[in-house]
Structure 1
Amino acid sequence: MYKTAKPLFFICETPLHAGSGNDLGIVDLPLQRERHTGFPKLEGSGVKGCIREAFEEKGQKGELVVGGVEISGEDEFKKAIALAFGPEEGDKHAGALGFTDARLLLFPVKSMKGVFAWVTCPRVLERLRRELGLCDMKPDFEVPPANAAPAGCNLYFRENKIILEEYTFKIDHKDDPQCTALARWLSKQVFPDGNIHGYWRGKVEKDIVVLSDDDFRDFVNLSTEVATRTKIDNKTGTVAEGHLFTEEYLPQEAVLYSLVLFGSIFSDDKGVFVQGRQSGGSGKDDEVLQDFIAGNMPRVIQLGGDASTGKGLVWTNFCR
């Protein structure tokens, strides 16, 4: 049983394709989606695999740290990875870390003013608050009503109206205090510290819109990126047979989150994590593992498919 959980946010630097396989619909390779809502998601197994790969790359470079000490030696870092994420082969023990599905939090939509807006909805925010409760976090915002915008919003083209894609929305709750508090919380918690994200922290404080659940569902179903992929036959100069297909992506600037779950290390030999216990703190397995994730999580990782074409690069922000 997992003892603690902490949120991990992902900000798409390039379009992201987390595929669900071939489909009979309009798009040949659609995104993974929740069955009951239709909202895009990324399976927890995919999140775990990508993060494990990123940690293995750091281990191969001798950059993994436990308790402030670098892990030396290939055997030691492989053992640490196996204890944290689980062994790749066999069933000697379970991994001490778990990852939930990455859920969509903010979806970027083209706007007549301000270039683009981030949209979300009460259903998404209620679920975020509920899952933050699992992390023993008390966010200092209440869920705003539908059709709300924060103070200082730059998206209005006339009085209290905004245009997203080709649709006009009336903002019934202009300068809404709950939406303003939400925008400030997102600015502080979602985006990493540092000047490189300063512009985006400022933008999310002003250019976020809380739409109705139905309007949000329509945007995340109809306003994703769809690219046509081809392969040219070198002999004929035409499209190779079976190599003309369409692929769906979450757009750049989309924001998702997953929960990292921390449990006990299921092995009597805790390897390098013993020194994590000795470096201070309570010495509990879940707290040592939190230090392991916080100290080694790369700023940028690759999620989903099409890595060779630069897709799926995301910024990470692990919150304790």
Structure 2
Amino acid sequence: MCENLYEVKTYYAIALDPIHVGAGGARLERVDLPIIREPGTNIPKIPGTSLSGSARAYTAMKTERYRWKDSEGKEYSCAGRGGEGGEKHCGKVNPACPVCVPYGFSRGTGSSMQGLAQFFDAHILFFPVASIVGPVWVTSPLAREGLRLETDFQVQDEGFYPLGQQLQNEQRLNFGWLMLNKGQGRGNIDSLPIPEKIKQRAVLVSDKVFSFIVNSNLEVRTSVSIDPATGTAEEGALFTYEAIPRGTVFRFDVVYNSGKYFNIGGQELKTEGDGDVGIQWVKAQVEKGLKLFETLGIGGMGTRGMGRLKVLNLQKGDC
């Protein structure tokens, strides 16, 4: 029997607030601060670096490795970069640091390792849109199946296909400004670990139409800086920014590698009690950080009511 050296887990998450992960700097577009998009489809996404960076910081908080001192009084911070050259990362592998080993560390000219958890981008799976019958959640074959290029989900180019029971009798339906007729299609989402209300109001559209619906229904906000001297709006400081709206469902993969056969600086990776650093141990440390997404959030504009993301299928137990 072959021993597993890695495990791929697909996570599903729902935005509790709008999510803003900026593309970097202001641009001459419809908004001053756009969000990052997938180049091939122009659909917004959350980069894996945004997920792993936030998860690392939150795991450090939960395991008291955010800022700590060893028995000799030397200060470490296993969250983030770990200083200019990574010198603040403890880099302990025996017993294994619950932050440095799952997420990786680099101590300049000293030891370093790639993290045992590999994060991938979070893509939109179901996108909420206002319609004449209330909110509906839109998906497409490419959104549902990723780039695996399967054919389990099909729909006509200029129509929609209701995946849930509540919309089966609707012959025409608007998606914001766009009106579509009911067409032929197929697909089943019963096995997904998402709220039942979303399943009942889910609609399948073609890949061609999905991008238009998403980009036409993003949340756009206007903000202004406040002059501290007067307490009023500062002249010339008006700016707009966009965000993925509340209620959007994402999915992303994390690959968990076993550290059983790793050797760093001549030391094997061991947990407290001299146990092996296995897949389940790595997953448990990462999910401590993922749990805090729903409280502390990810991305930017966190002081403007944005960022909270609830991961729906974490391991049961105290994460």
Q: Deviations over 1:26-57 (max 9, x none)?
A: 21111110111101011111110011112112
Q: Which residue of 2 aligns with 1:153?
A: 166
RMSD: 3.0
Cα contact 1:84–1:97 (8 A) shared by 2:
yes
Corresponding residue to 2:304 among 304, 309, 313? 309
Q: Which residue of 1 aligns with 2:179?
A: 168
Q: 2:306, 2:19 → 1: CA distance?
A: 6
Unaligned runs of 5+ in 2: 67-77, 79-89
CA separation of 1:14/1:44 partners in 2, compared to 1, >3 Å: closer, same or farther? same
Q: 1:154, 1:103 → 2: CA distance?
A: 25
Tell which deviates more after alignment, 296-305 or 3-12.
296-305
**TM-score, reference length from structure 1:** 0.75
Q: 1:307, 1:84 → 2: CA distance?
A: 26
CA separation of 1:239/1:202 partners in 2, compared to 1, >3 Å: closer, same or farther? same
Structure 1 residue identity aligned to 2:31: V
Q: Deviations over 1:148-195 (max 9, x none)?
A: 113522485xx511122132211113xx6x43x22x123xx2x3xxxx
Task: Note the C-alpha offset of 1:61.
Answer: 9.2
Q: Which residue of 2 aligns with 1:122?
A: 141
CA separation of 1:211/1:276 partners in 2, compared to 1, >3 Å: closer, same or farther? farther
Identity over aligned pairs, percent: 26
User: Where in structure 2 are the equivalents of 1:287-298 lying within 5 Å?
Assistant: 287-294=280-287, 297-298=290-291
1:84 aligns with 2:102: yes
User: Where in structure 2 are the equivalents of 1:1-320 lying within 5 Å?
Assistant: 3-21=6-24, 22-60=26-64, 79-87=97-105, 89-90=107-108, 92-113=112-133, 115-127=134-146, 130=148, 142-146=152-156, 147-154=160-167, 159-173=170-184, 178-179=186-187, 181-182=188-189, 184-186=190-192, 189=193, 191=194, 201-236=195-230, 238-241=232-235, 243-265=237-259, 266=262, 267=264, 268-272=267-271, 277=276, 285-294=278-287, 297-298=290-291, 300-301=294-295, 302-318=297-313
Tell which deviates more after alignment, 74-83 or 32-41.
74-83
Q: 1:296, 1:50 → 2: CA distance?
A: 8
2:113 is paired with a residue of what secondary structure?
coil
Cα contact 2:140–2:207 (8 A) shared by 1:
yes
1:29 is paired with a residue of what secondary structure?
coil
Cα contact 1:148–1:171 (8 A) shared by 2:
yes
Cα contact 1:105–1:255 (8 A) shared by 2:
yes
Cα contact 2:257–2:279 (8 A) shared by 1:
yes
Cα contact 2:58–2:289 (8 A) shared by 1:
no
**TM-score, reference length from structure 2:** 0.75
1:30 is paired with a residue of what secondary structure?
coil
Q: 2:285, 2:200 → 1: CA distance?
A: 35
Structure 2 residue identity aligned to 1:51: A
Count of residue correspondences: 273
Unaligned runs of 5+ in 1: 63-73, 134-140, 192-200, 278-283
Q: 2:180, 2:19 → 1: CA distance?
A: 28
Structure 1 or 2: more helix by fraction: 1
Cα contact 2:127–2:214 (8 A) shared by 1:
yes
Structure 2 residue identity aligned to 1:85: Y
Q: 1:261, 1:15 → 2: CA distance?
A: 27
Rg (Cα) greater in structure: 2
Q: Which structure is richer in relative contact order (CA contacts within 8 A, separation 6 or more)?
A: 1
CA separation of 1:238/1:61 partners in 2, compared to 1, >3 Å: closer, same or farther? same
Structure 2 residue identity aligned to 1:84: P
Task: Note the C-alpha offset of 1:108.
Answer: 0.5
CA separation of 1:275/1:251 partners in 2, compared to 1, >3 Å: closer, same or farther? farther
Q: 1:255, 1:89 → 2: CA distance?
A: 37
Tell which deviates more after alignment, 75-84 or 230-239.
75-84
Q: 1:202, 1:96 → 2: CA distance?
A: 34
Q: 1:288, 1:237 → 2: CA distance?
A: 51
Cα contact 2:127–2:137 (8 A) shared by 1:
yes
Tell which deviates more after alignment, 301-310 or 3-12.
301-310
CA separation of 1:61/1:256 partners in 2, compared to 1, >3 Å: closer, same or farther? same
